[in-house]
Amino acid sequence: MSVYPTVSDKPRIVEILEVKAETPTIKTFSFRDEACSKATAGQFVMTWIPGVDEVPMSLSIIGVKGVSAITVREVGEATAALHRLGRGDVFGVRGPCGRGFAETGRDALIVGGGMGMAPLLPLARRLAKAKARLTCIIGAKTCGELLFLDELEGLGKVKVLAVTEDGSYGLKGLATDLVAQVLKERGFGVVYTCGPERMMFKVYQLAERHGVEVQASLERIMRCSVGLCGSCVIGGFRVCRDGPVFTNKQLKLAKEEFGKTKHNHTGTKTKI
pLDDT digits (tens, 9 = 90+) for 52-86: 999 999 999 999 999 999 999 999 999 999 999 99
Strands (E), the chain: 12-15, 18-23, 26-31, 44-49, 53-64, 67-73, 90-97, 108-113, 134-140, 158-164, 171-172, 190-194, 213-217, 233-234, 237-238, 245-247, 261-263, 269-271
- Residue 185 has a pLDDT of 92
Angle between helices 175-185 and 197-209 (to 10 degrees): 10
Under CATH, which number does the domain 101-213 receive?
3.40.50.80
Count Cβ atoms below 10 Å from residue 29 Cβ, excluding itself.
Answer: 26
- pLDDT value of residue 2: 44
Specify the pLDDT at position 1. Answer: 38
Residue 265, pLDDT score = 82
**Which residues of the chain, if any, have pLDDT below 70?**
1-8
Which helix (H) or strand (E) segment is 236 a member of?
Answer: none
What are the residues whose beta carbons fall under 8 Å from the beta carbon of 256, sequence distance 6 or more? 235
Q: Distance between CA 42 and CA 231 in Å, rounded?
A: 20
Location of each CATH 2.40.30.10 domain in the chain: 12-97
Provide the CATH topology of domain 12-97: Elongation Factor Tu (Ef-tu); domain 3 (2.40.30)
Q: Which residues make up the CATH 3.40.50.80 domain(s) of the chain?
A: 101-213
Tens-place pLDDT, residues 136-181 = 999 999 999 999 999 999 998 899 999 999 999 999 999 999 999 9
pLDDT of residue 10: 82
Q: Provide the pLDDT for residue 8.
A: 59
Q: What is this structure's pTM? A: 0.93
Bridge partners of 214?
191
